[in-house]
Amino acid sequence: MDTKILEQHFTQHFGSCEGGAVYMAPGRVNLIGEHTDYNGGFVFPGAVQQGIMAVVRPNGSGQVRLWAMDLQKGCTFDIDNAEGPKETHFRYVYGVVREMLEKGVMVKGFDAVYAGDVPLGAGMSSSAALESCFAYALNDLFAGGLDRMTMARVGQATEHKYVGTMCGIMDQFISMHGREGSLVRLDCRSGEFEYFPWHPKGYRLVLVNSCVKHELVGSPYNDRRRSCERVAQLAGVETLRDCTWEMLDGLTSQISGEDYLRARYVLGEYDRVMAVCDALQRDDYETVGQQMYLTHEGLSKDYEVSCEEIDFLVEVARSCGVTGSRIMGGGFGGCTINLVKDECHDQFVAEVQRSYKERFGVECKIIPVVIGEGARKLKVEN
């Protein structure tokens, strides 16, 4: 993204950028640990170079004025408006404003122009990038003094209270805490985290966007969460993080077959995340890839959040000798994440593009992944 284009649009809509600044927050990939965050488990994400960028400037009023470049739409709302805009896209920013106020940050009116290069609907958390960008900007411009984890929880609360997606903390966490050249193992229950170097010599991370768009609000995403909560309650634990295989097997007569499969996936994913951590300590990327394939099998068969197009992409990856491949994100479309050896990269890209177009009549999109930094200020306007 080009800051100059953003600044030009800001000047066109709101006048001089003086007194404002440019902020950026990234989207993310998650190597392994899917649908574990709201179950109190572990995830293994990394921030990417793609994200949301915004020019934000206090305007001295009680109004927020927004211009979304990608949508070519604007929105204005009062800071003290208890209802906020109705359009979901603008409710992300509205929710961040309201949550920052609840945290004691003295947010005043501001103008903002923003745009992004995170593919929408691809499971790279464009919404978390948007929330994190504005949380970081408002914390900076209005001297909020909030730490990064608190700002991540502002974004999560926005999803819960203003959009209706009962997401976990992973997406907002990594958008805030990302570090170039590192992945992070996050304990979603305690908030503790550890950085792991990510410099896999001879391998690349590649996303393949199926161009099947998902909608998580009011969707089967929330149904999966309720399944997990029912099993945890019957097991007498707070979340499935504390449910053992023995406890789960003891509940088979009390839960539905569907709830059993959902829980079986979550318990298995905990084991797979730990296996990947051990493998990375040994630079054993073959084991990492094997665990990725196992995760996809669980997400497709037990958790049932895949789709025909995504399953096809994973099978093409396997046939091309790709080390690891799985669906990434909330599911029901989006991207596969692939751990690809350098020597088979070009052949894999060519084959997946050819065969996907032949099978489904649409072109998939290849997205190279470079692990980057978390939310930050890019530029101060004089």
Please report, for the domain that includes residue 157, its CATH number.
3.30.230.10
Domain around 72: 3-30+47-196+371-380
Domain contains 217? no
The one-character DSSP state at 281 is H
Catalytic residue among 171, 259, 302, 311: 171
Rounded Cα distance, 93 and 71, in Å:
14
Domain membership flag for residue 103: yes
Does residue 287 lie within any of the structural domains? no
pLDDT digit string, tens, across residues 12-41: 999 999 999 999 999 999 999 999 988 999
Alpha helices by DSSP H, listed for 74-147, are: 88-102, 126-141
DSSP 10-21: HHHHHS--TT-E
Task: Give the mean model confidence (pLDDT) for residues 187-194.
Answer: 92
Quick check: is 122 in a domain? Answer: yes
**CA–CA separation, 30 vs 262, rounded Å?**
20
Candidates 65, 63, 98; CA nearest to 83 is 98
Q: Which residues pair with 218 in a beta bridge?
A: none
Query: Which has the minimum average pLDDT: 110-119, 121-130, 172-181, 284-293?
Result: 121-130
Residue 126 and residue 115: Cα distance in Å, rounded? 11
> Can you give the pLDDT at residue 380?
62
Q: Mean pLDDT for the chain?
A: 93
Whether 249 is a known active-site residue: answer no
- Please report which confidence band the pLDDT of residue 147 belongs to, taking 50, 70 and 90 as the band edges: very high
119 domain-assigned: yes
Q: Is residue 190 part of a domain?
A: yes
Q: Is residue 334 part of a domain?
A: no
Number of domains in the chain: 1
Asked, for residue 71, whether it belongs to a domain, the answer is yes
pLDDT digits (tens, 9 = 90+) for 92-104: 999 999 999 999 9
The segment with the largest mean pLDDT, out of 94-98, 122-126, 216-220, is 94-98
